Each structure stands twice: as structure tokens, then as C-alpha cells.
Amino acid sequence: MGHTRVLAAGLAAFVSLAPLTSCASPDDGANASGRCSVRTDRAPLEKRFPLFGKPERAHWCGVVLGAGDARVPGPTDVRLAGVVVLAPGAFARVVRYLGAHPVAAAPEGLPEEIVEFLPRGAGWRRSDRLDRSVSQGRYSGSFLVDTAHRAVLVDCVDPVPPAH
């Protein structure tokens, strides 16, 4: 009887900690094969990036990082990459957070499945201020903005919804 109680308590502790240690979740769109399965649903993005409001369009994916050896248990990091086209009001808010002196930036190392959705002739700009405003310091990421297409290029690891 004592072993059963200890096992049950240990299992309960593991289950309660699992959401903190394993960053992959069903709505990440995470693909353990290292490939990018492009998604267009916007609800997971709205939850993680409230500054973006309700996007008009989105093409994004989640890719599991470091999934080379399934024999080693541990946290799973998910890279979320995508192009999000914002409604005018939300885009105006994003541009304000971009600040007065954003720097030119070029998208690098994106999954090729996402590259095909980058707007042609985009002039990407970014700022640390926007990155901090979107991530709230809870995860690493960069958010590049193209004003001609009201587009935001998202490239981050383990984006979690903001604390309320």
C-alpha cells in the first residue's frame, strides 16, 4: 500500500510539472521530423502574440529542435516560424512598438516551406524593443516587420502565451 501511494504521488508531481518542462504542445504545430508542416490556422498565434490581434492571414509551422535521440528524455524545444499579415489597427500598434529607429534585417535560416510565403520585395525591419514587447522576456525570438505588406515574420523558440 505504501509503494502505491508513493508511486501515485510521484506520478502526480510529474504530471503537474510536465507543462513546464516540455514546451511542445498540440497547438504548436510541432513536427518531430524536423520538417515544417505549414499551417494557416490563426488561433494559436492569437493566443501567443496578442499584440498581433486577429491576423488576416498566416502561414506558420512548429519544428521540434534537438529531437535526434528519442532515448534521451527531457524538455522539447519548438521553433515557431511564420509570416503573419496583420489587420491595419494591429499593424499600427506593432509599428509603434518597432520604434523610431528600427534596423534593416534579412530573414535568415527559415524553413524553406515558410520562405515561399515571404512577400516579394519585402523590406524587413526589426528592433529589440519590438522583440521584448512581443515576447515579454519569456522566450527568445525575433519579429521582423515589412510595412509595405503589413507583414510580421515570426521566428522564435518556445513561445508561450503572455502572463495575465
Cβ–Cβ under 8 Å, residues 58 and 110: no
Average model confidence (pLDDT) for the chain?
81
Residue 94's pLDDT is what?
97
Q: Which has more confidence, 32 or 21?
A: 32
Report pLDDT for 71. 62
Look at residue 69 in the predicted model and tell me its pLDDT.
Answer: 58
Using one digit for the tens of pLDDT, what is the confidence trace for 138-160?
999 999 999 999 999 999 999 99
Q: Is the model's pLDDT at 22 over the cut of 50?
A: no
76-115, pLDDT tens digit by residue? 889 999 999 999 999 999 999 998 889 999 888 999 999 9
pLDDT > 90: what percent of the chain? Answer: 63
Q: Residue 132 has what pLDDT?
A: 94
